[in-house]
Each structure stands twice: as structure tokens, then as C-alpha cells.
Amino acid sequence: MLSLLDFPDSCTAEEAVRLVGVIAGHNANVDDLPSLRTLRLWRAKKLLSQGGRRFTRKNILEVLGILRLRAEGVTTGAAAERCVLLNEEQLLLLLSGPQVTSAIMANSFAEVTLQLLAKGILDQYRRVIQGAVVGHADDRRTGIENTPISLRQAAARLGRLYFEEGREDQAASVHALLVLATKPLSKWAPQAIWSLPDATDAVLVDPDYRVPSEDCEVIAQQAEGVTLDDLIENRLHAELSQTLAKLGDDADPVYTSIREFIGRHPLATNRELHGLYARPELPTAAVEFVHSLYNPVHADFALQGQVRRCPFCRALMGRDNRCTLQGCREDHPQMSQAEQVPLDNALVARPEVLKYWVDPARDELRLYDALLGAGISADLYPHSDRCDVSVGDDIGVDVKDYRDPAQLARKLNRGIGGLALYRRSILAVSDRRTRSGDYIARLREQLSPAVRQKLEVQSVSDTIRALRRDYKAPRGTHARQA
């Protein structure tokens, strides 16, 4: 029985030919083993997944998979197309016996469809920001591709899955598909999609902010060709970092000042934004970047020419007298008296900024202010966002507010970012997620052993209590006001 340990991490082309010959000779009736020239030709034609100059373990498994499928009558091109989409474990299963081949291929088709859908939603949102019209067929009007090919491909593949399950195609319209994506996959997607591991309750478009969700970003990261730069939060961070690149060592405090201002001002007045020009540490380019993150408040939110600002988080309040920040609504279902702001003087942060910077900042700032109030010398977004809050260079804390602990675990298992640089690394989960009782237990269960050993996982409230108890600095430090 083959295992992944039977394959090297990488090898030369000559070594790959010998290894394929040995393994194929023992596990399949294959007479036409590929020569050195054939393997190089397959790589040149991109029949194998891309790597460096050496053949990776996945490349070798792909070659063996192609040979296996060719022996069953599949053409080389079709076999290569299927094998490239499989991960190493699935390729190993493909080699183990004929009874698993069809199930692997069906599962792979659904998995790739979901990844394409997540990637397509990210692509579509990026195009809308640039002026694209959703579903519009004439690209000449906007000068860019209105509907990305990844989203069109995902819709077509969803149609095939609906047909195979004897159901009406619900994804033929891009507009309808994006509306459906605001609901859990189990409510609308083909069963082949929502029955994938951890996909049942996944929501791809945030129903409150109408931007790609954390679930969408985690799934999209698994798609071919998606990089960290495609993810919304990473792109916002990159745009700010590029704006501050010329400041050198002064970039870190300016980065913190900007993020803190945005976190404390989801709804800002013209005067508050203009006041940033008077702060000597902020260069003009940085202030203009902040201005670019805000839009005028729509008149629909106004009553008698006034809009209301939430007393808890300073975000825009809706006509229902509730905060428009989803997390704040949950934490404060009963609203108290709100501040009135003239409509023509009010600007609100863009939806993606509210989703990925402002809403999480409620807990980040709560933690930061609590530590400063207890006399602990804390830093907010240290080293241009190495983590959310730190105590010196010894303790790093990241605050997370993911709806699904499984998706958060998968993200952390791929890397914990700047937390890895701290001796004590704390993952502080928003209190609203831990009220169900088993969120943290489910999260810990799905973390890899190495990540589980490195991270302390607890609620934001428990983090505040623990750090107040264990790491107190001399009194006299007070919270800064943005």
C-alpha cells in the first residue's frame, strides 16, 4: 500500500523517470512508461502543475495518475486535466484501486466548482469597485470585463450539478447567484457542493456588507492562481503600506494612527477627516488615502436632513434605529440616544472597510483601551500590523471574529502570520462568537498540533482578564484618543 512517505518532496527529471517506472510497474499494467523527454514535454505543455526546476511529489503523483487513467481509456489531455485538480491525498487514492476513481472525480469537480465560485465572487467585487456593471454583456461601456470568467465558469458548472441532481438551475443568472451566495450553501447549492467538508454552512457573500465573506476568502485561497493579494483585507493592508512606503522607520506609528482613526470613525464628519491634515505626523498622501476610504452617506439614511451615529461604536445607524455594524447590533440590541450629524457633513467608510477593518476593530480597540486603562503598556497594530495588540515584543494578540470556527482553523493552519514572532501568542475570539459555548472547543479541535501548541485560544474578555492579571506595567499610561 503506497503512502506519501514513499515519495520524495522533490527530485530531478531523471530521478522522476526511474521512480515512476518502479511504482507504475508494481501498481498498474502500464506498458508505455514515459521517457525523460515525455516528462519534460508534459511539463512544457503544462499538463502537470507548475513548480520549480525539480519535479515535486505532486508532479510524480500526477504522472502516475495520468498513466492510471490512460490505462482506463482516458486521453492524456483529459487525464492530465483531472489530475492537476486533485491534491496529493486524492491522487494517492486514485492509484489505490478502481472503485474510488469515479467518486474522487465527482468530489473533485464539486470542490473545484466551489473554489471557482469563491474566486469569481472576489473577482466580481474587485471589478465592481473599478466600475463594472454586474451581469452586463457589453464591456465597452465600462472598459473592463464586467463579469469575470471565473464566475461564468462557476455558474456553468453549478448548472451541470443541478442537472445531474434533477433540479432546476438556480445559478444561470449572475444577479440571482450573488443573492443566493448571501445564504448558507446548504440552502441553495447542489448537494455535491454543500456536502463537501465544512461547506454546509458556508456563506460566500456577507449579507450585511454585501462584500465577499471570510468563508469566501478561505475557500478562494485553495483555488488555482489565487494569491494573498487577491484577498480584500490583504489588499487594503497593501494599499496602506504602499502609501507609507517612503516613510521608512516612521511608517509604523503612522500606520497605527490611520487604522485607529478609521476604527474609531466608521462614520466621520468632514471636519474630523479634514482635521487629519493638522496632524504633523501624517503626510498628505496618508490623509488622502484615508479620505479615499469614505463615501457620502446616502440620503435614504437621513431624517429631516440628519443621520444618526451609534453611541457605542460611532457607526451609521439605520432608519430602524439600529447600528449598521453587524457585530455592534448583536452586542447592543437595545440602542440608546444617538448623536445627530447633518447629512451633508457625514461620510461613511466603504463596505469592505467596515467589514474587514472597522467591525473587527471594535474588539481590537476594546482590548487595547482596557490594557492601557489598567496601566499596561500596550501597542495597537505594532510594526504595521504584525498583530492587533501587543505588550512589548513578548506578547502578541490577534482578535478574530469568524462566523465558522472550521474556516478560521483552516486559515490558521496555513499560517499564523506575525503572531509566530512572539513568545506568547494569543488568539482572542470575539465574545459574540463564544456565547454559543462550544466555539473555542470546535476551533481548537481543528487546529493542527503545531498551531494548537503555539496559540492560546480564548475570548476577548478572558484575554483582557488574563493580561490584566499577569502583565501589568507601571501605572500612569492612559488610552490615546484618535
The DSSP result for 230-281, as a single string, is GSHHHHHHHHHHHHTGGGGGGHHHHHHHHHHHHHH-SEEEHHHHHGGGG-TT
| Number of CB atoms found within 10 A of residue 109's CB | 18
pLDDT value, residue 321: 85
CB-based burial label for 371 (10 Å; 0-12, 13-18, 19+) = buried
The three grid cell numbers given for residue 390, joined into one nine-digit string: 501587543
C-alpha–C-alpha distance, residues 283 and 250, integer Å: 11
Q: Please provide the distance, in angstroms rounded to a whole number, between the alpha carbons at the two ends of the chain.
A: 62
Look up residue 425 and give its DSSP letter.
E
The three grid cell numbers given for residue 261, joined into one nine-digit string: 482613526
pLDDT value, residue 131: 80
pLDDT per residue as tens, the chain (482 positions): 678 888 888 889 898 888 888 887 654 444 567 888 888 888 888 888 876 788 988 899 999 888 888 776 677 877 887 788 788 888 888 787 654 445 455 557 788 889 889 999 998 988 888 787 777 766 666 566 788 888 988 999 899 899 988 999 998 899 999 999 999 999 999 998 988 877 888 999 999 899 999 889 888 877 766 655 557 777 788 888 888 888 877 889 999 999 999 999 999 999 999 999 998 888 999 999 999 999 999 999 998 899 999 999 999 998 888 899 989 988 888 776 788 999 999 999 999 999 999 999 999 999 999 999 999 999 999 998 999 999 989 999 999 998 888 888 888 988 899 999 999 999 999 999 988 778 999 999 989 989 999 999 999 999 999 999 986 544 444 444 34
Which of 114, 99, 138, 148 has the alpha carbon at shortest distance from 218? Answer: 114
Beta carbons within 8 Å of 46's beta carbon, 6+ residues apart: none
Is residue 421 within 8 A of residue 396, CB to CB? The reply is: yes
pLDDT value, residue 77: 78
Is residue 178 within 8 A of residue 319, CB to CB? The reply is: no
The three grid cell numbers given for residue 74, joined into one nine-digit string: 482516458
H/E stretch holding 116: helix 101-129
| Number of CB atoms found within 10 A of residue 12's CB | 12
H/E stretch holding 150: helix 149-164
pLDDT value, residue 9: 85
pLDDT value, residue 271: 93
Task: State which fold the 357-470 domain adopts.
Answer: Rossmann fold (3.40.50)
305: Cα within 13 Å, side-chain hemisphere? 3
In the 3-class helix/strand/coil scheme, how is 171-185 assigned residue by residue?
CCCHHHHHHHCCCCH
pLDDT value, residue 45: 84
The three grid cell numbers given for residue 431, joined into one nine-digit string: 465574545
Nearest 5°: the CA angle 329, 335, 336 is: 150
pLDDT value, residue 147: 84
Query: What is the model's pTM?
Result: 0.69
Residue ranges of domains in the chain: 4-96, 103-138+145-230, 357-470
For the chain, how long is the longest CA-to-CA vector? 82
Residue type, 275: G
Q: Which residue has the cell 443573492?
A: 179
The torsion angles phi and psi of 391, rounded to 5 degrees, stand at -115, 100
pLDDT value, residue 218: 83
Beta carbons within 8 Å of 325's beta carbon, 6+ residues apart: 266, 310, 313, 315, 354, 358, 359, 362
C-alpha–C-alpha distance, residues 15 and 8, integer Å: 10
- 269 forms beta bridges with 346
C-alpha–C-alpha distance, residues 397 and 386, integer Å: 10
